[in-house]
Amino acid sequence: MIARTGVTRARGFRTLGDLLRISALILVAAIVQVSIFAPVTILGGTPDILLVTLVCLALLRGSIVGAIAGFAGGLIVDVATLGTLGVTALLLTVAGYWAGRYGETTGRGRMRAVPLAVAVITILVAFGGLGLHYMLGDLVSAHRALVTTLLPAIPLNLLLAWPVNRLCAAVARRQASSDRASEVQVLV
Amino acid sequence: MVVGALVVLALALVTLSFRESSGGPVTSAQNAGAEALRPFEVAATRVARPFRDAYGWSDSLFRARSDAKKLRAENEQLRQLVLQNEFAANEVKQLKALLAFREGPTFPNDYDPIAASVISRPAGAFAQAVVVSAGSADGVELNAPVVTGAGLIGLVTRVTSHASRVTLLTDESSAVSALDAKTDAAGVVGLGPGVGATLELDRVSKDQDVRVGDTVVTAGWRSTKLSSLYPKGIPIGVVTSVGQSDTDLYKQVQVQPFADFSSIDAVIVLVRKAAGK
């Protein structure tokens, strides 16, 4: 019987360095989203690099990292935009968790897991955001939120998916590669 | 467990943030966080500014091109509208002239007017005729005189049920007995020897007085058995030159027609009233 020692898939934060790298990634993505991408309107939609980063990260590192990263990223956005604290955090927590679960289960090893997850979560976050803002009593046009901005946002996020996924893989997989099995024990 | 805690925490934040007054601890923490993030945001904005400017430039260029394309199409539409309006204004002018003629003193009392529009024009320089949109069904008869607001233009030479062919005065076969409205000098108006739509008042004897500027109108003669096809007094044109030579029997009188034969759009066909009407 042969068993591998060590971890082949890095789930959760393994080291402090790993935590810092992912935190920096989320912080940069949130700042870039708030400062650079939010004012950009292409064909009526706005690309969401934080959401794409979160999805890619969650697919790589699992649901717990996805949820924590989503909460942190959303909180940064809420703080930076001086919006209702916790709204984006709640949405991205759920989004990160869902993407992580998808990566751990059905999406594992699938070629199109990233674009599929990005597209689906973009839609779900739009619907969730609309519902949440509606419950908070904000005046939101459903047509604007779900048609005018969402439809162009999906391809824009898909365009970001490939380079962001490469970046996330370079940042978040470093730990994973170091955790690979270094020796093999033969159990008799 | 972690996820549940995060969701609960987020909901708690939402609740606190939503319910709290502006000076509360959560709001203060949020403000402090925003202040802490501000340098990063400013830095990111500065780094991104050239790219945003480039994007803005290309976007405005694209938009300007799109606008230019839209404006060109709009301009084309407006140009067509202007042409249509000019055409309509011209038509209105002609119709007003026709109406003025119809209600004017020169309109012959024993004729009924039938208004018609020109539906086809001469195919070439050799066919001095137009086809109008009124035929026998409308009461048009063969040899009925046809006028515009300016004056006489010709004679109906062929009639179908809903269209008629009008041979213009500028056709070589046309001849109208006419007279000088001022001096009563009589003659026959036909196509002149010059180029274009100049007419000639022929058969004016040398002893008759015709002067440049005199108006030539239809004579409308009537004898015991015969009568002219044209009613009396319809303006034809104005005398532009008068000449005579020792060898000729008659004067050479050139007449510039009142009607512009190159742009006839609406006409009145004069139909003689039935007896007893």
- B17-21 contacts: CB < 8 A, separation 24 or more? B17/A78, B17/A84, B17/A85, B17/A86, B18/A84, B18/A136
pLDDT bin (cut points 50, 70, 90) of residue A55 is very high
Residues A120, A98: contact at Cβ < 8 Å?
Answer: no
pLDDT of residue B60: 84
Mean pLDDT of all residues in A61-88: 88
pLDDT of residue B17: 81
Give the chain B residue nearest A70 (alpha carbons).
B6
Alpha helices in chain B (DSSP H): 2-19, 25-103
Q: Does domain A2-174 have CATH number 1.10.1760.20?
A: yes
pLDDT of residue A6: 37
pLDDT of residue B122: 58
B175, β-bridge pairs = B190
* DSSP code of residue A17: H
Give the chain B residue nearest A101 (alpha carbons).
B3
Please report residues of B whose CB lies closer than 8 A to that of A27: 40
CA distance B78 to B70: 12
3-state secondary structure of B165: strand
Domains of chain A, residue spans? 2-174
The type of residue at B276 is G
pLDDT of residue B74: 92
Q: CA triplet B169, B228, B105: central angle to 5 degrees? A: 80
Residue A180 pLDDT exceeds 60: no
**Higher-scoring residue by pLDDT: A139, B47:** B47
pLDDT of residue A124: 93
Q: Which run of H or E residues covers position B267?
A: strand B266-272
Residues B179, B219: contact at Cβ < 8 Å?
Answer: yes
Task: Classify A44 in phi/psi space as left (phi over 0), alpha (psi -120 to 50) or beta.
Answer: left
Q: CB–CB of B44 and A35 under 8 A?
A: yes
- Taking each helix axis as running N to C, give the angle between helix A63-81 and helix A16-32, from 0 to 180 degrees, rounded to the nearest 10: 40
**Which of A36, A76, A85 shows the shortest C-beta gap to B37?**
A76
Please report residues of A whose CB lies closer than 8 A to that of B48: 32, 35-36
E strands, chain A, where? 2-4, 184-186
Please report residues of A whose CB lies closer than 8 A to that of B51: 36
pLDDT of residue A163: 92
Residue A9 pLDDT exceeds 60: no
Please report residues of A whose CB lies closer than 8 A to that of B12: 86
pLDDT bin (cut points 50, 70, 90) of residue A123 is very high
Contact residues of B toward A, CB < 8 A: 2-3, 6-7, 9-18, 26, 30-31, 33-34, 37, 40-42, 44-45, 48, 51-52, 55
pLDDT of residue A90: 93
CA distance B189 to B201: 4
Q: CB–CB of A31 and B9 under 8 A?
A: no
Residues of chain B short of pLDDT 50, as ranges, are 276-277
Judged by a CB distance cut-off of 8 A, whether residue A93 touches chain B is yes
**Residue carrying structure tokens 């830095």:** B43
Nearest to B206 by CA among B237, B248, B240: B248
pLDDT bin (cut points 50, 70, 90) of residue A52 is very high
Q: Sign (positive/negative) of CA torsion A63, A102, A50, A11?
A: positive
Domains of chain B, residue spans? 1-103, 111-272
Q: Which CATH architecture has domain B111-272?
A: Beta Barrel (2.40)
Residue A67 pLDDT exceeds 90: yes
ipTM value: 0.70
**Higher-scoring residue by pLDDT: A177, B255:** B255
Residue A179 pLDDT exceeds 60: no
